[in-house]
Amino acid sequence: MYLTLPPPLLPLKRCTELWFEDCGLIVRAEDTLFRISGAQLAAHSAVFADMRGLKQPEDAEHMDGCPVVRLPDPAGEVEVFFKALFDPGFFTEYPALTNYRTLEGILSLSHKYEVPVLKKRALIHLGNAFQHYNPSKPRLTPSSIGQRPLDVHVLPNIIALCHQIDAPWIFVPACYQYCQTASAADIVRGYTDMSGSNQVLAPDVQIALHSAKTRLHTEKMAEFMDFILADGAGIAKCHNLDGFHACPGIRGRFRSATDLAKGQRLPGQMSAYLATWKIKGICGPCRTALERGAVAAEAKLNKDIPSLFGFQDRDELEKRRIQALE
């Protein structure tokens, strides 16, 4: 016979910054209590307004004479979400500085509890950390998240959240950036949420990441590097066509060297590699042609990134961004 023990009682603590004695609603998340105004909460959130409309059962939980509402969300998320709702200076519009954990909690709960003003504000903050994302020159636009570059450990959190709340214009660049550093094992492992628990990415997101990573290392890498040997890449104007040190040989060895770098670098990281690669002895017209080819290859790659993650193109992402923020 097994004895079922009750779960251990957590010592409850009050969030002193969100404890208003003159307010009549106590909200509990994990072991943290918040005392706030139910009417104000309902005025901001459609979900809480509906909850308030429901008749409370006779035996509903009470504390200090106030009804207690338990939320299933991490206390850290609820804290920043309530601060954003009740403290006007806590989470102001972009480009005011914030931090990622605050942003994650506010975005997640403003979506869940339907507070459109906060959700849009959070999406603008997060979107600006990725806007005009260029794989070879990442994060040139100012980010209000206070991390530059954006910490790679939060990328899977951003991916999971933006997938859940349907924000593809942030989901795609976050996935692309994650593909550059994450191993297959990282993708499987997932991420740590705000309460410190391990979470796995949705199965379709895991598959999309594995598939994109593989395609970037193989076909996209080959397509990207094609400019080195492409017909018409300035070879007609070449000054140096004879002997072992002629341009065709230099190009061939250069192309082979980029193949050796395959598996370690993704196409978007190749531009930096090209810049450090000393193409000794190559003639002026060939060098110019290669430089132009690299720029065009990078533009083509940028254009193709959304399709790696199941979206048509950048225009589709931009359309979705405008729809969500209007």
Binding site for Zn ion (CB under 5 A): 238, 240, 247, 283, 286
* Closest CA relative to residue 163, chosen from 120, 111, 215: 111
Structural contact between residues 198 and 192, judged by C-beta atoms closer than 8 angstroms = yes
Q: Alpha-carbon distance 226 to 241, whole Å?
A: 20
Structural contact between residues 215 and 308, judged by C-beta atoms closer than 8 angstroms = yes
Tokens of 287: 């060098």
Which lies closer to Zn ion via its Cβ, residue 210 or residue 255? Answer: 255
Structural contact between residues 119 and 141, judged by C-beta atoms closer than 8 angstroms = no
CB of 285 to Zn ion, least distance (A): 6
Q: Which residues contact 293 (CB under 8 A, 6 or more apart)?
A: 227, 228, 230, 233
Q: Alpha-carbon distance 312 to 231, whole Å?
A: 29
Which lies closer to Zn ion via its Cβ, residue 261 or residue 279? Answer: 279
CB of 252 to Zn ion, least distance (A): 12
Which lies closer to Zn ion via its Cβ, residue 14 or residue 239? Answer: 239
Which lies closer to Zn ion via its Cβ, residue 283 or residue 308? Answer: 283
CB of 171 to Zn ion, least distance (A): 43
CB of 295 to Zn ion, least distance (A): 18
Which lies closer to Zn ion via its Cβ, residue 13 or residue 239? Answer: 239
Compute how many other C-beta atoms are within 10 angstroms of the C-beta atom of residue 37: 15
Task: List residues bridging with 28 in a β-sheet.
Answer: 33, 70
Which lies closer to Zn ion via its Cβ, residue 92 or residue 240? Answer: 240
CB of 227 to Zn ion, least distance (A): 14
CB of 275 to Zn ion, least distance (A): 19
